[in-house]
Structure 1
Amino acid sequence: MKKRYWIYIIVAIAAIALTYILTQGGETSERDILVTAKRGDFTVEITTSGELEARNSVNILGPSGLRSVGIWRVEIRDIVDEGTKVKKGDYVAQLDQTEILSRTESSDIEVQQSISEYTQVQLDTALELRRARDELINLKFAVEEKEIILSQSQYEPPATIKQAEINVEKAQRAYRQALENYKLTKRKAAARMSEAAADLREDQMELDRLKALLSQFRITAPEDGMVTYKRGRNGQKQGVGATVEPWDPTVATLPDLGRMMSRTFVNEIDIRSVQKGQTVKIGLDAYPEKELTGVVIDVANIGEQRPNSDAKVFMVNIEVNETDTTLRPSMTTSNTILADRIPDVVFVPLECLHNQGDSLTYVIRKNGLTYSRQQVLVGKTNANEAVILDGVSEGDELYLSIPPDVEDTPLALLTDVPENVAVKEEN
């Protein structure tokens, strides 16, 4: 009986222990996840999405003289599909001719009116000069007639002779006056003809300019290449229905596919870590199996606000090192910029870091069967991990989750943290 009694006690204790393990112990194993602090080279990477563009391209331009004729915008009526390969001189686009055709017709009417006015002035001046010449001839005959009368009156009384002399002098003066008037009339006629000719020439030049401009509304390729649409100020591609303006007559572009770059935008928090010359890993959404490399070639100094976003971003251009015939403008890329590499440091997952107040950061370290809170000095971080400058050693086991009643555990503070050093460094 005594032996059976002890067996019952042992079984009961085992059942209680098993129940505890299955309940408390099982929950603890699920809740308490541990990681080990690692030592090695730490990389700071910035991941962004971008879009492929040709580093160099040739613009396909529309009419260059729109401003000179007072046309401020022209709509693209038709354009070849984006990605179309064209040869030099091939058709690319057709601009709307409605306004310039109307102006050409009006200018042609003005030219016809100027021709009519020029002809009318020519006829008027010809008739006026003919009358003036006829008057001169008549006055010259009158002078000769008066001189004949004077020569025949030499035997007449002195009074008659004197009257004949006066008549000759009057006729000569009238002739001289008419001759001067003819010269003035001739000069006036020449001026009127010059003015009419200038008006006609100006109207004709305007008509010729409009006709030459009209011929430019059919857009052709300046050289061989693949057509890509121009992007407007809002980032939208400009196809049929978009407008071409005098200060930017670009209709489309012909990119140089041999030199590609990815244009991306980095937020204002990460931009201070991006510099020219940094290496980049580039992935293509269209070809996930392809792995390309690149280098940062340009970082904007001024931020901008993208559509549908409140955050400020900075444009970054990344040149693609490889040449690949499958690369096309507007392909979406994933860019991983290697902003920094720190050798031989201790680092832990970001989930291990907890905050107390605004400036104190700590980790929860496993100490045998218990745990403790330890203040840490955090260095640079990336998307998943953080460098620990002080407070954690390689191999320390840290909790990812927060154990129960952790606030009751004392916090071990660092002793040699300078007051002017932020607890969590971003740079």
Structure 2
Amino acid sequence: MKRNNKLFIGGGVLLLVILFFVFSGSSSETGPEVVVEVEQGEFVIDIMTSGSLDAKNSVPIKGPTGLRNYRIWNVTIQDIIDEGTEVKKGQYVARLDQSELTGKIKDSQLEVDETQSQFTQTRLDTALTMRQARDELINLEYTVREKQLTLDQSQFEPPATIQKAEIELEKAKRGLQQAKENYEIKRQQNVAKMQEASAELRGDKNELEGLMALSQGFTILAPQDGMLIYERSWDGKPVKAGSQVSAWDPVVATLPDLTKMISKTYVNEVDIRKVKRGQSVEIGFDAFPDKNLKGRVTKVANVGEQRPNSDAKVFEVEIEVFGTDPLLKPGMTTSNKIITKTVEDALFIPLECLHSQHDSITYVYKKSGASTVKQEVIIGDANAEHVHIIAGLDAGDRVHLSSVQGMENKEVILLEEMNGKRNPQKVEAEPEPIQNESQQPQRRRRNN
């Protein structure tokens, strides 16, 4: 009796297996048949990008800011403390190479010495010139007095003698007046020479003093307490000993405010039109796979750029990170899921279910009772895994994930609302599964 029961049970199981394969249809081209149900609910269209964590606000740690004033365009970092070091205000951070500055200080000192010598020589020359001019004036004044005395003593002389004395006195007076005028001109000339020499000396001394003061900035100290983060160059690489610091922006590191963080990412030119300020973002962290935070797009660049090792144009996008975590540090890699659109109460299926016929008909293999039919569908937006179904399917319908063998020549059940909107192609033509982006609805791209 027990043996008969076992045979009966075994036969029943075998019958169920046979019925399963009969009612599930034929096997697909690639393996066992897989059928999924049409889902209904919130459909999210998003863009995935990778980015870098950064502080929203930070205090720059700069080298000397007056380099350009002294024609120093680049300086080399000679030494810098480790990134991530907690520093106190006034603590040593880095030292810049002073080789070029030292050479300029030596040259400036030589110029000061030379200018000082020229200034001294000019002062001596002008003093001597003015002394000679003053002596000449004194002598001419004596001459006038002598001529006046001669005239006074000639009152009882013949008229011709008196007239001659008067002429000599007049000539002496005119000579004295001309000498006084020449003396004033020489004085003004010598004052100008001294002012010029003094200005040149003062300028050279100021440059030397400025260079000496500039040298103090080559030893860089922390402006306040914080955690040291290296400055990044244009290609994203952190500075290090041996790196060049530009005179236009001599930042070597920053002290970030870790209470407010952002993620800087880049979106390719195809997807950037979908990204808008205010869109929600789900942020993950490569260093902490279990940690996720929310965020919001706060800035979208208007001008594209070309990143290193990439031919595609990308646009910088800034994402504000909501919340803080002591484990998060600037420079960490983030995965950013930018929610570009949400459709409520939508029908959607996996992208693998879609097929195309002559680029004019999009259809799926739908289960219809015990059989399978080719059903035309109207699709909307898609994300990385699913596509929004606008028409052609209902919630709970079952569709195949892949092509069904033996149905290549079956007709597609067409939608009435698509009549007149298709290309004039034969519906009976051989179907072509969707395999590339030109045939699929646009998929989400992961941006680098």
TM-score (norm 2): 0.82
Distance 2:334 2:78 in 1: 32
8 Å CA contact 2:360–2:422 kept in 1: the answer is: no
- Aligned positions of 1:36-47 closer than 5 A: 36-47=37-48
Distance in 2 between residues matched to 1:157 and 1:230, nearest whole Å: 103
Corresponding residue number in structure 2 for 1:354: 355
Q: How does 1:359-398 map to 2 (within 5 A)?
A: 359-398=360-399
Change (3 A) 1:418 1:343: farther
Deviation at 1:192, TM superposition (A): 1.6
Q: What is the alpha-carbon root mean square deviation over aligned residues? A: 3.0
For structure 1, which segment, 175-184 or 196-205, has the greater mean C-alpha deviation from structure 2 after superposition? 175-184
Identity of aligned residues (%): 50
Provide the residue aligned with 2:318 in structure 1: 317
Cα–Cα, structure 1 residues 164 and 262, in superposed 2: closer, same or farther, change >3 Å? closer
Residues 163 and 57 of structure 1: CA distance in aligned 2, closer, same or farther (over 3 Å): same
Gaps of 5+ in 1: 1-13
Tell me the residue number matched to 2:121. 120
CA offsets, 1:161-180, max 9 Å, x none? 44444444433333333333
Contact 1:114 1:196 in 2 (8 A): yes
**Secondary structure at 2:346 match in 1:** strand
Paired residue for 2:286? 285
**Does the C-alpha gap of structure 1 residues 254 and 165 become closer, same or farther in structure 2, counting only changes over 3 Å?**
same
Is the 8 Å Cα contact of residues 296 and 317 (structure 1) preserved in structure 2?
yes
Q: Map of 1:48-127 to 2, 5 A cutoff? A: 48-127=49-128
Partner deviation per Cα, 1:142-186 (whole Å, 9 max, x = no partner)? 333344444444555554444444444433333333333323222
Q: For residues 394 and 412 of structure 2, what CA distance do their matches in structure 1 show?
A: 17
Structure 2 residue 175 is matched with structure 1 residue 174: yes
The question of whether the paired residues in 1 share the 8 Å contact of 2:296 and 2:320 is answered with yes
Describe the SS at the equivalent of 2:94.
Answer: strand
1-side partners of 2:219 and 2:70: how far apart? 18
Paired residue type of 1:73: N
C-alpha contact 1:93 1:220 (8 A) present in aligned 2: yes
Counterpart residue identity of residue 90, structure 1 = Q
SS of 2:217 mapped into structure 1 = helix
CA distance, structure 1, for counterparts of residue 421 and residue 205 of structure 2: 79
**Alpha-carbon distance in 1 for matches of 2:363, 2:266:** 33
Distance 1:418 1:301, change over 3 A: farther
What residue number does 1:139 align with? 140
1:87 to partner: Cα distance: 1.7
Residue equivalent to 2:336: 335
Distance 1:78 1:160, change over 3 A: same
Distance in 2 separating the partners of 1:381 and 1:421: 21
Instruction: Give the conservation status (yes or no) of the 8 Å contact 2:40–2:395.
Output: yes
Match of 2:427 in 1: none
Shift of the 154–95 alpha-carbon distance from structure 1 to 2, 3 Å rule, reads same
Maintained 8 Å contact 2:92/2:220: yes
| Farther-moved stretch of structure 1 (219-228 vs 29-38) | 29-38
Distance in 1 (alpha carbons) for counterparts of 2:211 and 2:127: 34
Amino acid at match of 1:84: T
Check 1:176–1:357 CA distance in 2 against 1; reply closer, same or farther (3 A cut).
Answer: same
In structure 1, how many angstroms separate the alpha carbons of the residues matched to 2:81 and 2:420? 65
Quote the residue 1:184 is aligned against.
185
Query: Gapped runs of 5+ residues in structure 2?
Result: 1-10, 424-438, 444-448
Secondary structure of 1:307's aligned partner: coil
Provide closer, same or farther for how the CA distance between residues 418 and 127 of structure 1 changes in structure 2, counting only shifts above 3 A: farther
Counterpart Cα distance in 2 of 1:36 and 1:131: 116
How many angstroms apart in 1 are the aligned matches of 2:316 and 2:187? Answer: 72
8 Å Cα contact 2:87/2:228 also seen in 1: yes
TM-score, length basis structure 1: 0.86
2:51 counterpart letter in structure 1? G
Tell me what 1:257 maps to.
258
Give the CA deviation at 1:201: 1.7
